[in-house]
Amino acid sequence: MAEAATKLPVNPEKKPTASIDRWWPFDTLRSEIDRVFNDFSPAIFDRPSRMPASFSRGVLAVDLVESDKNFELSAELPGVDVKDLDITLAEGVLTIKGEKNEAKEEKQKDYYLSERRYGTFRRSLELPPGVDSGKIEATFTNGILKVVLPKTAERQTNNRKIAIKGV
Give the pLDDT band (50/70/90) at residue 136.
very high
**Domains and their CATH numbers in the chain:** 47-157 (2.60.40.790)
- CA–CA gap between residue 146 and residue 109 (Å, rounded): 43
Residue 137 — pLDDT band, cuts 50, 70, 90?
very high
Lowest-confidence range among 35-49, 98-112, 114-128, 153-167? 35-49
Instruction: Identify the weakest region by mean pLDDT among 43-47, 73-77, 90-94, 101-105.
Output: 43-47
Residue 74's φ and ψ, nearest 5 degrees, are -135, 150
Average confidence (pLDDT) over 154-162? 77
Return the DSSP state at 54. G
Mean pLDDT across the chain? 76
The reported pTM is 0.57
| Per-residue pLDDT at 58 | 58
64's CB contacts (< 8 A; 6+ apart) are 71, 72, 73, 125
Predicted pLDDT at 2: 53
Burial class from Cβ neighbours inside 10 Å (0-12, 13-18, 19+) for residue 35 reads: exposed
| Between 145 and 79, residue with greater pLDDT | 145
pLDDT at 113 over 50: yes
